């Protein structure tokens, strides 16, 4: 079950040259209007991958409050006062420190019991691009660590186990269920990892050019090399020098595909593709999902995109 709080979100798009942000007010509950059965736990999840784990591990015993709305990327999530109150009333908040400053602040100010994903998985240091470094000190959008750990299914499985332990501690009456649910999820993620390993074992190329540098964990796990056009924060605009560098890289390596996330922010990727004869394809960082998708379906599509782009057997 998902309870969606009223959230004020800042929409962002790389196609908006000025970077001007519009305000979108997302209201209400998209789901079932009938009164919900009370559940043992209410858990707030700061962004989609954490929500996915909370729902799978919690099952029927847990109501999940999704702080990030579907369709909006979670970097720089902003929270309305009512969303902060809902977060504060949860039994547990799942978040990742230094990823969404508004969530860090809300957890500190409400004193809600929280579980930081960074305490469960070992995060890589972020390799900031020059553009991002230029903003250091003036913006506090991204920390020193790369947040995108969920794109390595084995790290995501480690996190699922840790969430199962957290739920079991807070709600011991359902501890066995949480543990069993976490184990089932780990088995699914292990199978996903095996399909990536097998699917990417024999490929003509191993370089992936991405617009948003979200795939370092995935690249490390499957022995790929990520070349980011922009940076870890999708809002960062690449410099003309960086565009030239990436264009040269694409030409020298015979890269045939430039990955982007959606048609909305594909303009930079399309520019490089047009200049090099490469094509643009989607590689989804699973920071949010749309419609009937979930983590598993999007990751399955990602594997097919990679296999096509890298000419894997
Ligand atoms: Zn990201």
- Condensed to tens digits (0 to 9), the pLDDT of residues 76-123 reads 789 999 999 999 999 999 999 999 999 999 999 999 999 999 999 999
CA of 214 to the centre of ligand 1 (A): 5
Four-CA torsion 154, 160, 161, 164, nearest 10 degrees? -170
pLDDT value, residue 8? 31
CA of 32 to the centre of ligand 1 (A): 30
The Cα–Cα gap between 104 and 122 comes to: 19
CA of 50 to the centre of ligand 1 (A): 14
- What is the edge-to-edge ordering of all strands in the sheet holding 114-116? 2-3, 62-66, 41-45, 92-95, 114-116
CA of 5 to the centre of ligand 1 (A): 22
CA of 212 to the centre of ligand 1 (A): 7
Q: How many CB atoms lie within 10 A of CB 197?
A: 14
- Which two tokens mark 238? 């690449």
- Which two tokens mark 310? 């890298």
Q: Which of 158, 70, 167 is nearest to 115 (CA)?
A: 167
- Which two tokens mark 183? 């184990």
CA of 227 to the centre of ligand 1 (A): 15
Show contacts of 134-140: CB within 8 Å, 24+ apart: 135/236, 140/101
CA of 27 to the centre of ligand 1 (A): 24
pLDDT value, residue 28? 37
The pocket of ion ligand 1, defined by CB under 5 A, consists of 214
The Cα–Cα gap between 67 and 106 comes to: 11
CA of 183 to the centre of ligand 1 (A): 27
CA of 213 to the centre of ligand 1 (A): 7
CA of 103 to the centre of ligand 1 (A): 16
Q: How many CB atoms lie within 10 A of CB 263?
A: 11
CA of 33 to the centre of ligand 1 (A): 33
Collect all residues with Cβ–Cβ distance below 8 Å to 87 and sequence separation of at least 6: 5, 44, 65, 67, 79, 93, 103, 106, 107, 110, 112
Residue 13 burial by Cβ neighbours in a 10 Å radius (0-12, 13-18, 19+):
middle
CA of 232 to the centre of ligand 1 (A): 6
Q: Which of 79, 99, 72, 57 is nearest to 8 (CA)?
A: 79
pLDDT value, residue 232? 75
Between the CA of residue 106 and those of 6, 10, 84, 128, what are the distances in Å?
15, 17, 6, 26
pLDDT value, residue 238? 85
The Cα–Cα gap between 149 and 287 comes to: 11
CA of 1 to the centre of ligand 1 (A): 25
Spans in the chain with pLDDT lower than 50: 5-33, 130-141
The Cα–Cα gap between 98 and 276 comes to: 37
Parallel, antiparallel or unpaired: strands 62-66 and 41-45: parallel
The Cα–Cα gap between 87 and 103 comes to: 9
Model pTM?
0.84
């Amino acid at each position: 079950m998902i309870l969606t709080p009223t959230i004020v979100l800042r929409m962002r798009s790389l196609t908006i040259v000025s970077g001007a942000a519009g305000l979108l007010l997302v209201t209400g509950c998209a789901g079932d209007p009938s009164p919900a059965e009370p559940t043992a736990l209410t858990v707030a999840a700061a962004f989609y991958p954490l929500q996915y784990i909370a729902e799978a591990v919690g099952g029927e015993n847990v109501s999940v409050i999704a702080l990030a709305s579907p369709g909006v990327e979670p970097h720089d999530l902003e929270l309305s006062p009512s969303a902060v109150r809902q977060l504060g009333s949860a039994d547990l908040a799942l978040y990742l420190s230094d990823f969404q400053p508004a969530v860090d602040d809300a957890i500190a100010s409400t004193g809600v019991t929280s579980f930081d994903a960074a305490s469960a998985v070992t995060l890589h240091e972020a390799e900031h691009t020059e553009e991002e470094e230029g903003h250091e000190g003036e913006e506090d959008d991204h920390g020193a660590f790369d947040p995108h750990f969920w794109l390595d299914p084995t790290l995501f499985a480690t996190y699922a186990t840790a969430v199962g332990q957290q739920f079991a501690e807070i709600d011991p009456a359902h501890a066995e269920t949480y543990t069993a649910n976490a184990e089932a999820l780990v088995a699914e993620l292990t199978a996903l990892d095996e399909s990536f390993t097998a699917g990417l074992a024999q490929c003509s190329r191993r370089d992936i050019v991405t617009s948003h540098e979200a795939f370092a964990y995935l690249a490390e796990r499957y022995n790929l090399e990520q070349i980011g056009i922009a940076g870890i924060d999708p809002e960062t605009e690449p410099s003309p020098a960086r565009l030239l560098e990436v264009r040269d890289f694409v030409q020298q390596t015979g890269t045939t595909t430039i990955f982007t996330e959606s048609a909305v922010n594909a303009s930079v990727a399309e520019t490089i593709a047009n200049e090099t004869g490469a094509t643009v394809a989607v590689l989804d960082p699973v920071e949010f999902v749309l419609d009937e998708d979930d983590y598993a379906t999007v990751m399955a599509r990602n594997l097919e995109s990679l296999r096509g782009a890298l000419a894997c057997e």
